[in-house]
Structure formats: C-alpha cells, structure tokens
Amino acid sequence: MAGSGTAHLRTGDALLRVENLVVEFPAGPGRRVHAVSDVSLDLLQGETLGLVGESGCGKSTTGRAIMQLPRPTAGHVWFEGRDLTRLDGDELRRTRTRLQMIFQDPISSLNPRRRVREIVGEPLAIWGIGGPGERARRVAEVLEAVGLDAEAAGDRRPHQFSGGQCQRISIARALMLEPKLVICDEPVSALDVSVQAQILNLLEDMKARYGLTMIFIAHDLAVVRNVSDRVAVMYLGKLCEVAVADDLYRAPAHPYTATLLASVPVPDPTVRPDPSVNELDAELPSPLAPPSGCRFRTRCPRAEAVCAEREPQIREVSPGHFAACHFALEPPAAATPSHTSWRERDA
Amino acid sequence: MSGTGPLLEVSDLRTHFLTGRGAVRAVDGVSFTLERGRTLGVVGESGSGKTVLARSIMGLLPARNVVRTGEVTYDGRRLTGLSPAELREVWGAEISMVFQDPMTSLNPVVRIGRQITETMRFHLELPEAESRARAAELLRSVGIPEPERRLRAYPHELSGGMRQRVTIAIALACGPRLLLADEPTTALDVTVQAQILSLLGRQQRERFMAMILVTHDLGVVAGRTDEIAVMYAGRIVERAPTEVLFSDMRMRYTQALFRSIPRITDPGHRRLQAIGGRPPDLVAPPRGCPFAPRCRYARERCHAEAPALTEAGPGHTYACWYPAEPGEVAAEAAALASEAMP
C-alpha cells in the first residue's frame, strides 16, 4: 500500500478532516521513524470510521495525532471547522472536551487510587461544571447508561472490577463531557470474546444515544466490520484503501487488504483461507528507512518495477471505493475461499 | 515403551491452587485421550483452565501451594508419578511446549543458537559442531532466512513472528511426539499468525507429532485441528471432532461463545449476542452447571445438579441438561452468511 493523496476526501461538511498528516519521531542522529506519512481522512457527523492494520502501521499514532498527542510533524486536522494543529494550548484544551479517547487497557487507563465516582466525575470538576448535586446526578446517569449500578459501583476502585467493567468505566468517563468525536484505540482487544460482544454493543448504543462520531482503531478485522460504516486500511504509515465497510470486505481492491482478509481464521472448518497468505514475506520493513515508491512492494505478490519508482496515489477504483495501488484489483477479484481438508493444505 | 495405545491419556485431572481465599479449582476433573499424530484444540476464555491444563499435563506447575490429582499417562508411562529429574528427561525429548509470548520464553541475554542447541546437547548428547549444524537446519525448516547468521542473533534482534519461529525450532529440536502449543499466535499479527499456524501444521504432519493447540479463538481451531475440547470453569464441557462441533454443537456455552463472535463475513452493525455476567469464582463454583448463572436456557435443574457428560455421537460428548437441537447453531450461521451476500 502505500500511497498518498486526497482523492478519497469528500466535499461538504465533514466533522473531522485530516489532511496530509505526518508524524515522525527522532531516532538518533540523522534518523527518523516515519510513523505516519501523508495520511488523509475524513469523517461525517454520526459516522464510524474503522482504522485497521497490523502492529507498527501507524493506526494508533494517527489516532493520537488527531488528538494532538503529540502534535503531528506536519499536516492539518480540521475539527468542527478549526485546525487543531494551529490552536494554542488553552484553546486546544477547550476543544478537546469534544474529542475523547478510549484506550486498549482499561485497567491501566484508570487511576487505581480513585473511586469510580471521582474518575468519571473528574472532567466535570476540571471544567467546573455544575454544583456537587448536579455533578453527582450526571455521574449516576452516565454510569447507568454504560450498564453499571451507580449506587454500588460509585464508591469502589478500579481493581474491584473486571476488565470489561473497567472498560465501561472508561467509556463513561469519555462520555461525561458529551463529546462529538470519540477515538477508540483497540477498545476490546484486551477482553474475552463474550465480554467483547457486550462492549461492542454498548459502543453502538452509546453512539446512538449521544449522537457520537467514532474512529475505531483495531487490528481485528471482524470487529471492525461489525462497528464501522467506512474502513481505512493502513500499512507502514500510509493508507492503502478506504471504502464503505461492506464493499471493502466483499471486494478488497488493494493486495494488502486482500492478504489481510485472507489471513483471518474463520470459525468454520469447511472454509479455508487463501494459501497464498503463506507466500507473504514475513518481515515488515523498518519505518526508519521505508521502501521507495509503494511501501508494500517488498511484500506484495503483484509488485513490479514501477512500484519501486513511483508512489501510487489514492484513486477511485469504483464508486466510493479508493485504493492506492498501481494494480488495484478490479472489485470482484476477491479471494474465493477454497474447500479442502486442512491436512492437504500447506503441504 | 512405544505402545499402540493412545499417545496421551488424561484421567480425572484436577489442579487446585491453594490461596488465602481457599482452593482455586483451576482444572477440575478433566479426562481425555489423544491418539498419535492427531491435533486436539482446547478452546476457552480467560480463566477457563486451558493453560493450567496444558501445564498440568507437562508437569510445569509451581512447587508449592498446588494440589494436582488424577493421572496423566504418556505412551504407557505415568507422568504424574515422575520426579522433577525424571520429568526433565521427558521435556523437550518427548513432550515440548510453545508459549504465547516468545519474548519472555526466550532468554534475552543468550544467543539464539545456544538456546536451540541446549536441548540437543542435553538429550541427544551431540557434539557442539553437529548440534549447531542441526540448529541451522531447524531454523531453515521453520522458515528463517540466513539461518547460520541468525544463530548468532539475540532474541531482541528478531521480530515477534521470527521469535515464535525460534521457540518452535527449540520445541522441535529433539523430535518430540507431543507438542503443547499454548496460544502460540495470540501475540502476533494476523498475517504472521496464518504463517505460524501453517508452519505448526506442516511440521506436525512431517513428524507425525501429536499436538494440543490451546487458544481462545474458535477461528484458529476450526481450520487446524482434528478434535476440539471446549473448557469452562476448569472442565471440558463439550468435545467433538472439529467438523461435528461446528455443525452440531450442543452445549449451551459452546453455542453462546460461537454466537458472541463477530465474523468477518457478517453484515456490518449486526447486534452481537453477548454472554451476560462473568465466569464463576473457582474458589466456590456453583453447585450445578457452572455456566447456568449466565445461560439463558437454564432451568431449575441446571442450578441444582451438575450435568454429566452425554454422548451425542461418535467422539462427541457434552455436559448440558437442555442442549441445543442438532444443527441449530450451524443453521443460524448459514442464514447470517447468506444475508451478508450481495
């Protein structure tokens, strides 16, 4: 993957518009980690954008750079018509009340010494919203909304809760100031599947109840399909493909997306993943010195000379379906699962 | 002793950890047999006892505050009666284990080469040069490029997937006939996971090695095992040949687990069927079926009396008083899949 461009950005009123975002970290004399390189995204009001990719693709860094945590190296983040990268500290703090984040590890993202009531009510205290009675009422309301018994839970501390309940507390805290945009960074990765389903359902409910717009960052492609309206696939700091979720899963246009989808183990013994997955070179290139041209070319089954010379630009391969590849697959070329016994496979 | 019977027999295995709150019944009466060259998938959520089961078979348990009862028989030999010194003869040579996190299971300050040759020198008493040549050959067979150079590398110089390949090479070094793989791909990216699972499958077939694949992921076991055992609260609650389990799961917990996972083929924004509540406290498990407090099909009897294992067909047993109809869950999944098609 691995391309740049803004062809996939929509015209009109986007709640969030990320343009040419670059995040680099210094890594010793003359060396830089190219974590995010020229990524553009947009989100309409009420939409959920899934951001997927493997470790090191820059998906979390993108999420954090939108929050200005830390500020990106270059690029613009337009939120409600204002460029967050240009705001000074005080204005940014005020704007951040409408932008919230939910993290992967629910236990370590909560202060173990505070009571749940204090953790969830802290945003109100910081901004001096309401008196004690008003605050207590709002804390109770949001705790009930995320499925916790406010009466019983309020006086307890995080260690007295399971991982799933801690994630409910994190969600309650994120919702306290009634944000417009919530960035969820791997919110269910640390949870068991039965609990994961509870939290995914809760996020959908909260989205409807509070009118949220969401960025959902995750490595689990099935989870992302479940919650997302649009999905963006990242690889080594670049965008590969952006499309409406169902289109992207039915007909991946980028070879990397196709490989990712073919790698997902399916809970059905009659469906076999594409054996071509095993031909993918396992080693991810270093983000210190990313490959020239298309960053995916060193592992791409379709790479040709042009891929090293020219970086592919994001282009529309079918209506509303964008990919950055010189050889974007025509949509119906999705991998068809073959039906063979597992013992014959990989032989 | 190289008999013709099953390679591994586990009978009424119980592992209880003694804590200040009482005994945690992590594994609580597990019995099964595993034939030579076959793969058993053990599936369960955190705290179901799947990892403790694998460690109990291996004899890799803390020295104190553990009570293990029941029997583990490997190739006619009772492992449960062996001393630590005798067990060391078995580990690596007969039974090997691959762990979830290759960073913590490899020694960070010892080069890869020495970590592989260590077991060979111990069990096979090979001279240094020969064991190094075999180590390089092993690394090549697990898909590591430039194996001679990699022998001199330290674990931190390799990626997560490469490290897991190294731990597999170590596990295979002395040609074990049983491999216990405990969440071997959970810490890895999905494309690397697919490669590691293929590697394990290929090695297993070439060596006619039996394998127990422990995982929380029903997707991982679906394509890679002959049989599946589903664990809940320290017990096997359903066991069946893999195809049979997916087409005909009966136990209500298996069904609930299967229903709760989002599938990549499902239409977007589908309401997931979550399992309410949380697993029971294993210090004081419920008197009846351990899943009853969370089960939407539970009736009075489920809370009062633990269900015995019932036979549903050849090799298929389950513990449930009010099981799903045969084929019920598979039909639901098929309906969903067709809904997702354009």
| pLDDT, tens digit (0-9, with 9 covering 90-100), for A107-141 | 889 999 999 999 999 999 999 999 999 999 999 99
Asked if the model's pLDDT at residue B229 lies above 70, the reply is yes
Question: Tell me, what's the ipTM?
Answer: 0.87
| Min distance B263 CA to chain A CA atoms (Å) | 5
pLDDT at residue A110, rounded to an integer = 94
Asked if the model's pLDDT at residue A268 lies above 60, the reply is yes
Asked if the model's pLDDT at residue A336 lies above 50, the reply is no
Consecutive H or E run containing B31? strand B22-34
Asked if the model's pLDDT at residue B188 lies above 80, the reply is yes
Q: CB distance A204–B271 less than 8 Å?
A: yes
Asked if the model's pLDDT at residue B268 lies above 50, the reply is yes
Residue of B38, B142, B162, B191 to mutate for A, most A C-beta atoms under 10 A: B191
Instruction: Band the pLDDT of A342: cuts 50, 70, 90.
Output: very low
- Nearest Cβ partner of A272 from B223, B275, B278? B223
CB pairs under 8 A between A and B: 152
Overall pTM surpassing 0.80 (yes/no): yes
Residue with tokens 């924004």: B269
- Asked if the C-beta of B83 comes within 8 angstroms of chain A's C-beta atoms, the answer is no
Asked if the model's pLDDT at residue A333 lies above 90, the reply is no
> Of the given ranges (A15-19, A202-206, B335-339), which has the lowest mean pLDDT?
B335-339
pLDDT at residue A280, rounded to an integer = 64
Strand order in the sheet with B22-34: B22-34, B8-19, B66-74, B77-78
Q: CB distance A200–B262 less than 8 Å?
A: yes
pLDDT at residue A278, rounded to an integer = 60
Q: CB distance A226–B269 less than 8 Å?
A: yes
Mean pLDDT, all residues of chain B: 92
Mean pLDDT of B321-332: 89
- Using CB atoms within 10 A of its CB, is residue A148 exposed (0-12), middle (13-18) or buried (19+)? buried
Contact A169, A105 (CB under 8 A): no
Contact B108, B156 (CB under 8 A): yes
> B198: Cβ–Cβ under 8 A, 6 or more apart, which residues?
A275, A278, A345, A346
Residue with more model confidence, B336 or A46: A46
Residue with more model confidence, A339 or A231: A231
Q: What is the rounded CA–CA span in Å between residue B96 and residue B176?
A: 6
Mean pLDDT of B159-184: 93
pLDDT at residue A343, rounded to an integer = 44
Q: What is the rounded CA–CA span in Å between residue B231 and residue B223?
A: 19
- Asked if the C-beta of B283 comes within 8 angstroms of chain A's C-beta atoms, the answer is no
| Min distance A89 CA to chain B CA atoms (Å) | 37
pLDDT at residue A282, rounded to an integer = 59
Whole-number percent of chain A with pLDDT over 70: 91
pLDDT at residue A73, rounded to an integer = 96
Instruction: Band the pLDDT of A37: cuts 50, 70, 90.
Output: very high
- Token pair, residue B18, equals 């003694």
Residue with tokens 């507390």: A169
Asked if the model's pLDDT at residue A311 lies above 80, the reply is yes
Letter for the amino acid at B75? D
Instruction: Band the pLDDT of B2: cuts 50, 70, 90.
Output: low
Contacts B191 to A, Cβ<8 Å: 54, 259-260, 263, 277, 280, 282
Contact A320, A247 (CB under 8 A): yes
**Among A68, A9, A14, A75, residue whose Cα is nearest residue A237:** A75
SS3 A195: helix
Consecutive H or E run containing B134? helix B128-141
Contact B190, B12 (CB under 8 A): no
pLDDT at residue B16, rounded to an integer = 97
Q: CB distance B198–A278 less than 8 Å?
A: yes
